[in-house]
Amino acid sequence: MRDEFVTAGHIEEAAGTSPVLDRVGGLRRFTPARVGLRMAGTSLATSEILDFQLAHARARDAVYAALQPAHLMADLRTLDWPVDGSPRFLLRSQAKDRRTYLQRPDLGRRLDETSRIVLENFSTAEGAWIFDLSIVVADGLSALAVERNAGPLLAELLPLLAGVTPALRVAPTSILEQGRVAAGDEVAMALHASMVVVLIGERPGLSSPDSLGAYITWNPSSNTTDANRNCISNIRSEGLSYRDAAVRLLYYIREALRLKQTGVALKDPTDDLCEALLNTTGETLLAERGKL
Amino acid sequence: MEYSHTLGSVRHSFASLSHLLACATPFRSGDALAGLAAASAEQRAAAQFALADVPLRRFLEEQVVPYEMDEVTRLIVDTHDAEAFATVASLTVGEFRDWLLSDDATAERIGSLSPGLTPEMVAAVSKLMRVQDLIQVASRVHVVTRFRTTVGLAGRLSTRLQPNHPADDATGIAASIVDGLLLGSGDAVIGINPVSDNPATVTHLLQMIEGVRERYSIPAQSCVLAHITTQIKAIEQGAPLDLLFQSIAGTEAANASFGINIALLQEGHEAAQALQRGGVCADGLVGSNVMYFETGQGSALSANAHRGTGGRGVDQQTLEARAYAVARHFDPMLVNTVVGFIGPEYLYDGKQIMRAALEDHFCGKLLGLPMGCDICYTNHAEADQDDMDALLTLLGAAGINYIMGVPGADDVMLNYQSTSFHDALYVRRILGLQPAPEFEAWLKGSGFARLSREMASNTGALDGMLERLLPA
């Protein structure tokens, strides 16, 4: 009966009990993906099922973990910020708790009233300020991602910004609870910043409960859609490295300044482009900016 | 136009067709989020009674999204085949359901009716159907497409091998491809979701798949699921592109949020077809279906692009069916709903995901599409592997063209759970299904044997072997 089904019978023979199995297990050296799994028949062996269940349990726990905003702010303030960029605002979205956040993305995209007033008061008090960039750090779907990765990423990014775009005017950074990407648009509008970078916890994966995403949006407004954004994903120690992510972020920030747009019109940078960017001097960029 | 149904002394009325369709939809979180769900269970039942009495012809007169403001509606209206529609023109939605379940509704008759059906008609009838109805009717329809393999034949189930890597590492991706091939996966497509959306990455990864395919003489097609404009650039730079991918949705505004429109899809379709990379398939025909589309309920709402006539929202299942009108215009090789990927704000739990997947498969097949499904969930949805096993079995019974093959069901790039290589082997075994005929022959032949042999040879050779798969 089995032999009638070429895939099942054949594959069991090839991978089930033969020496091939060990070699296939060796594939795991090359990828974090779940390759070369042990089998029972053509199904997964008990140990593999249990490993999977544990990972799922951890990811579920990560979704419901709460951000510690004050702690994160203290942490981020220890970095070497450019003038005025240092974290200053603790903000909340209109989603009051995790369950609301999960079912009402519309509320996660809006700042609550207190937060709006905080930003408006700042803008009124310092009305002369116009910023090139506002940075927002939001829990998103994984507070763990933000706590582990936002600091190390910014530690790479800030010196690059200082070196390559020294004249960039960076608004005080915000930390946002129960926030979605679009809430960053509102922050940037309130601060009169022409671009926003949102660092946000991505939906936890089984092997990556702590993956950070970075969204770059030029001229954010209430009409901004996802097609107007660029995204860098999988920023974490086992994924895209902090250094590589920071260089890409720098690329998008520069391109946004130069072309006055973000989104599908900007293509992801190649390695060559990134390298060229790092060899660019601050002076050249300043000159370029003068033409804008 | 107003629609109504009276239950006892209560007259339930619905201001428009889109209002009626939304209220008649089995509950899901996305419609509640949009404020479109029925206010009570009784109102939903009343809406279903009223919907059952609506003549199918009515759907040609009242559009849920205006013709003037939406190119998807224009496509639906302008390409409607009145002659094909004639066979069911006198039926109401309820009568149409009865006909679909009757012995009159053969595969041939449904197939020739298909160009006469609009997405809204098909969505409407699905709202009156139970799970077993969605399975039974869909299982009668076989939509067959060809590139280097033939996908969608009766008694067959194909898989998309999805070897994603969190940093687009070509060796890591090759390792997942080898693992999948050894487990009989990849006959629908070997399709990578790249982290980096640029032509160089697309070209590099396509060359890598090309190398694997040629080395082991694999009848399969490749795809790197970047934005369509990126893939077109890659074509211009000489990339060996087999299938051209794009995510699509059911309104012009939602498609705009994806950075696409129908003209751009047309441009891409022509560019991909001009490459003429399809092979001679098992029945002697040359494969010429080059498009690969993904869809999913809730995508229009998530882009705030779900509004139609009178500014009123349209329910997510009806809009999903409208995306299929866009898809069928391009004779795609593959179309799959990525049903559980979008998250719990649109499909909250395993029950909602399951029903949505079966609706999508049914609607797509009725509209003549080669439907597959990414049977999946995210870690913030109330769902787990048991839900996916149940859905996999149901879709297998419904005759789904293909499912995903992800190492261990865990996509380490996109951070969600889909179906594994092993899941495909399970469903093929219990339902007696085979892969595509060309791929089945390959699994029995020297190409697969060579791959197995090389993988079984001395341990140290593995690095070298994977290296050889990479483009220079």
Enumerate the domain spans of chain A: 3-62, 67-291
CATH of region A67-291: 3.40.50.11240
Return the residue in A5, A11, A21, A31 with the most chain B beta carbons within 10 A, the one to mutate for interface testing.
A31
Asked if the model's pLDDT at residue B338 lies above 50, the reply is: yes
**Yes or no, beta carbons of B348 and A234 under 8 Å apart:** no
* Nearby residues of B323 by Cβ (< 8 Å), 6 or more positions away: B72, B119, B248, B249, B250, B293, B295, B299
Cβ–Cβ pairs < 8 A, chains A and B: 218
Over range B397-421, report the average pLDDT.
96
Mean pLDDT score across all residues of chain B: 96
Q: Give Cα A7 to chain centroid, integer Å.
A: 40
CB B395 within 8 A of CB B358: yes
**Yes or no, beta carbons of B416 and A15 under 8 Å apart:** no
Contacts of A37 in chain B (CB under 8 A): 407-408, 422
Report the distance separating Cα B428 and Cα A193, nearest Å. Answer: 55
Helices A271-278, A143-164: crossing angle, 10 deg rounding: 50
Nearest to A30 among B166, B230, B466 (CB): B466
Nearest CA-CA distance, residue A149 and chain B, Å: 16
How confident is the model at residue B460, as a pLDDT? Answer: 58
CB A107 within 8 A of CB A94: yes
**Yes or no, beta carbons of B462 and A207 under 8 Å apart:** no
pLDDT tens sequence for chain A (292 residues): 333 444 444 565 554 444 455 556 688 899 999 999 999 999 999 999 999 999 999 899 889 999 999 999 999 999 999 877 999 999 999 999 998 999 898 999 999 999 999 999 998 876 656 899 999 999 999 999 999 999 999 999 999 999 888 889 999 999 999 999 999 999 999 999 999 999 999 989 887 889 999 999 999 998 898 889 999 998 999 889 999 999 999 999 999 999 999 998 887 787 777 777 777 755 454 444 443 3
Report the distance separating Cα B61 and Cα B4, nearest Å. Answer: 18
CB B288 within 8 A of CB B273: yes
How confident is the model at residue A8, as a pLDDT? Answer: 46
Instruction: Give me the amino acid identity at B80.
Output: H
Residue carrying structure tokens 């009848």: B219
- Per residue in B96-145, pLDDT (tens digit) is 999 999 999 999 999 999 999 999 999 999 999 999 999 999 999 999 99
CB A178 within 8 A of CB A96: yes
Of A33, A110, A95, A203, whose CA–CA distance to B381 is shortest?
A203
Contacts of A21 in chain B (CB under 8 A): none
Nearest to B171 among A18, A30, A226 (CB): A30
The chain B residue lying nearest A17, using CA atoms, is B456
How confident is the model at residue A3, as a pLDDT? Answer: 38
Report the distance separating Cα B429 and Cα B452, nearest Å. Answer: 21
Interchain CB contact of A7 with B (< 8 Å): yes
ipTM of the modeled complex: 0.94
Nearest CA-CA distance, residue B2 and chain A, Å: 30
The chain A residue lying nearest B158, using CA atoms, is A7
How confident is the model at residue A15, as a pLDDT? Answer: 46
Report the distance separating Cα B250 and Cα B73, nearest Å. Answer: 9
Of A168, A223, A163, whose CA–CA distance to A197 is shortest?
A168
* pTM for this prediction: 0.86
Nearest CA-CA distance, residue A84 and chain B, Å: 32
Interchain CB contact of A63 with B (< 8 Å): yes
CB atoms within 10 A of CB A289: 15
Interchain CB contact of A74 with B (< 8 Å): no
Return the residue in B455, B462, B463 with the most chain A beta carbons within 10 A, the one to mutate for interface testing.
B455
* Nearby residues of B51 by Cβ (< 8 Å), 6 or more positions away: B3, B20, B21, B24, B93, B94, B124, B127, B128
Residue carrying structure tokens 């092979």: B279
Alpha-helical regions (H) of B114-249: 119-127, 131-140, 170-182, 199-215, 228-236
CA distances from B190 to A177, B158, B213, B218, B224 (A): 39, 11, 10, 11, 8
Q: Give Cα B331 to chain centroid, integer Å.
A: 13
Over range B359-384, report the average pLDDT.
97
Interchain CB contact of A175 with B (< 8 Å): no
How confident is the model at residue A128, as a pLDDT? Answer: 56
Return the residue in A94, A215, A267 with the most chain B beta carbons within 10 A, the one to mutate for interface testing.
A267
The beta strands (E) that lie in B154-298 are given as 158-161, 189-192, 222-224, 244-247, 291-295
Interchain CB contact of A27 with B (< 8 Å): yes
CB B152 within 8 A of CB B145: yes
Q: Give Cα B364 to chain centroid, integer Å.
A: 8
Contact residues, A window 150-169, toward B, CB-based 8 Å cutoff: none
**Yes or no, beta carbons of A7 and B443 under 8 Å apart:** yes
Alpha-helical regions (H) of chain A: 6-11, 20-25, 46-64, 69-77, 98-103, 105-108, 113-125, 143-164, 183-191, 242-259, 271-278, 282-291
Nearest CA-CA distance, residue A83 and chain B, Å: 32
